[in-house]
Structure 1
Amino acid sequence: MFSVCASEIVDYLQNECHIECEFLRKSLDGAPLSGFAALTQARENDVSFWVGRIESVTHANGPSNDELNGVAAGLLFVPKFSRANVSENDGKSMSDNATMRDPLLEIFPHVKNIVAVAEPYHVMVKFLEHFEGDGFNDNMKTGVDFDAGVGYGENGPWIHPSAVVEGFVDEGCFVGPGCVVMRGASVGRGCRLESNVTIYPNVIVGEGCIFQAGVVVGSRGFGFYEHEGERRMVPHFAGVRIGNRCSFGANTVVAAGFISPTTIGDNCHLDSMVQIAHNCVLGNNIYMASQTALGGTTILEDGVQFAGGAKAAGHLTVGKNAIVTAKAGVTKSVPAGKTVAGFPAIDIEIWRRQMVELRMMAKKKLEK
């Protein structure tokens, strides 16, 4: 666990990493920073970053202006760009005579320290590498009992001889042949890992969950950022948090988050070969049929249902109790309670009318 002030972090970045930093706002209290979190989840003792996107629709391709106004991070890395760049993203919030730094101070009124850098994503990674350490060991130990061990007591856990368990498995669990529970993972009471299940470090599973053969939870997500003309892999250290009574079908994959965990609520049921990308947030009572997939940072609110083969692009929200029909492709946020179909996914009644009209047009053409 680290505890440093904003000036210490900036000094390290400038002197050791040779990264140019500029304080746009600097707190006078020198309060220590001891954590990190995603932009909209960060609090006054957290470090976070913003890449510069503003969207009029929440989670369409980035946070809305209202969400940015509510950010309360202790230290925020922001991109260096001109007033024109900011105005292009959200002209309504900018005045004609604003300076280069004023728009950012207006966008983030509650952030204590704002530091402008050329590449906020890269700077955040460099900060984490140094101040949190390789593997984010302290973060991995959260809620995990490394010393509890495993065994064959009266109440279990029952572990197959071919399984490898280095993390914590609670009583009443069944860990089948070929399963791996890595050091830094925690599996709650009464879970069942059927066979060849892999649970990576910094994955915390609640009670009564079922993992069918071949499930992988906590692997590094498919994320990259650009630095000096090349793409670099994002270190997804934040793991996965899973609630109670969830089920995961064969060969389903849940990727780890970057600086905030990928999150799945209670009573979520995922079929076989489902892909949950890094930093997705799933509410409670989610149902996803086989071969469905979510792009990174997608939010599914409570009660959402995905039919077979449906997909969603990243950085969007599917509202409460919405339904995505089979093989639909969601490219923008879906309002609560809506049912969408087709590609790009639209309201199902409009899609049905389109399909009928297309059939009628084709039939008339064939009859000529």
Structure 2
Amino acid sequence: MSFVFDIEFISKHTGVLGAALEKKFSGVASFGSANRDQVTSLDRLDLLKDGKQCNAGACFVRPEHKDFLPDHTIPLLCQTPWECCVRLMRALSAEFFLDSQGDRGIHPSAWVHPDAFVPDSCTVGPFVVIEEGAILGQGCILGAHVLIGKNVNMGKDCRIDSHVSICHAYLGDRVCVRSGARIGQPGFGFVVTGSGPVDVPHWGKVRIGSDVVLGANTTIDRGTLDDTLIGDGTRIDNLVQVAHNVQLGKNVVLVAQTGISGSCRIEDQCMLGGQVGVAPGVCLKAGTAVAAKSGVMRSTESGAQIAGIPAMPIQQWKRQVIYLKRLFSNDKG
């Protein structure tokens, strides 16, 4: 879809001023590929390596880096170039792509229970199943082959991509669930007896706040007796496992292939790198940062930075890595 915008549009949505108000643009592109009709950003000087030049018509750039731009590129001076570029991209998406999801309404192949509530402003794709008592908010979009289970309640403007199943769950507003995710299935809970494992019934729900994004093929288990909780603004990457009774605070970030064991509590603003594992019942206090591939066995204090298996304060982990490197470099065996 083609579109045209100008410096005034950029200023309105990013707060960044630029010269040449009459200049028109047709898109946003990466630093290395942008042409003179596009906007880009220069937030790292390593983008200039190998003699790369900026060919964009305008570029978000810090004041101290503007001299790296050629004369034909309009400098859009700011302290956070990439953040401003993202704001522009979001504004363009809202302005020009808002109705690009297809016609509103229910596809003929979808099945909606008579006791489910689907507003006319929703879009329900092919082969969707919406079970008894489910309630969708205004403006929700459901992709093909989505299952919305019995009594699921969704807020407004949620987007559920194809092949997602949501059961025993409540979703806030503007929740985005990527393809293949599974929400609300029973957790991996059992009691070991003399005759073998006995499965524990799961009666809890999954409660997801507003403005949450859940990645493709991520799984969030329902609680055993209490609910599994996902706080407002949280971002969960692809292929993440969140077990029963986990409590995630606001604006938590979980990167791909992370696994959170049952009954963990991860407070506001925590960030976990890829392939992190968290043992059952651990509490990560607000602002904790966990390096990729770490195994977290113990709870942390607020603002902790940890790494390693088992995870430890990151400076201690760095010293151990340096020590081992020296130890084996001196090993004559």
CA deviations 1:19-47 (Å, max 9, x no partner) are: xxxxxxxxxxxxxxxxxxxxxxxxxxxxx
Give 3-state SS (helix, strand or coil) of 1:225's partner: strand
1:87 aligned partner: none
> Aligned match of 2:257 in 291, 308, 311?
291
Q: 8 Å contact 1:309–1:327 — kept in the other structure?
A: yes
For 2:301 and 2:241, the matched residues in 1 are separated by: 22
Q: Report the alpha carbon displacement of residue 229 of structure 1 after superposing the two structures with TM.
A: 3.9
Work out which of the residue numbers 322, 330, 334 in structure 1 matches 2:288. 322
Q: Percent identity?
A: 32
Report the residue type matching 1:265 in the other structure. G
* Alignment of 1:157 onto 2:125: no
Q: Which runs of 5+ in 2 are unaligned?
A: 1-113
Choose from 228, 238, 261 the match for 1:262. Answer: 228
Match of 1:334 among 286, 300, 306: 300
Matches within 5 A, 1:166-205: 166=131, 167-200=134-167, 202-205=168-171
- How many residue pairs match? The answer is 219
**What SS does structure 1 have at the residue aligned with 2:327?**
helix
Q: Distance in 2 between matches of 1:318 and 1:149?
A: 39
CA distance in 1, matches of 2:280, 2:292: 18
SS in 1 for 2:170: strand
Q: What amino acid sits opposite 1:332 in the alignment?
A: R
> For 1:353 and 1:227, how far apart are their aligned partners in 2?
44
Q: Distance in 1 between matches of 2:263 and 2:144?
A: 33
Q: Secondary structure at the match of 2:316?
A: helix
Give the number of the structure with larger relative contact order, counting CA–CA contacts within 8 Å between residues 6 or more apart. Answer: 1
> Over aligned residues, Cα RMSD in angstroms?
1.6
CA deviations over 1:47-84 (Å, ceiling 9, x no partner): xxxxxxxxxxxxxxxxxxxxxxxxxxxxxxxxxxxxxx
Shift of 1:361: 0.7
Instruction: Report the Cα offset of residue 343 of structure 1.
Output: 0.1
CA distance in 1 between partners of 2:143 and 2:205 (Å): 23
1:227 to partner: Cα distance: 4.8
Shift of 1:246: 0.2
Q: Which runs of 4+ in 1 moved over 4 A?
A: none
Of 356, 360, 363, which residue of structure 1 is paired with 2:322? 356
Q: How does 1:27-66 map to 2 (within 5 A)?
A: none
Distance 1:204 1:227 in 2: 34
Is the CA contact (8 Å cut-off) linking 1:150 and 1:165 kept in structure 2?
A: no
Aligned counterparts of 1:213 and 1:262: Cα–Cα separation in 2: 21
Q: Which amino acid aligns with 2:128?
A: A
Shift of 1:157: 1.2
* TM-score scaled by length of structure 2: 0.64
Deviations 1:153-180 (A, max 9, x none): 2xx2110131111222111100000100
Corresponding residue for residue 180 of structure 2:
214
- In structure 1, runs of 5+ residues without a counterpart are 1-145
Q: CA deviation at 1:147?
A: 4.0
- Which protein shows a greater Rg? 2
d(CA) in 2 for partners of 1:344 and 1:326?
12
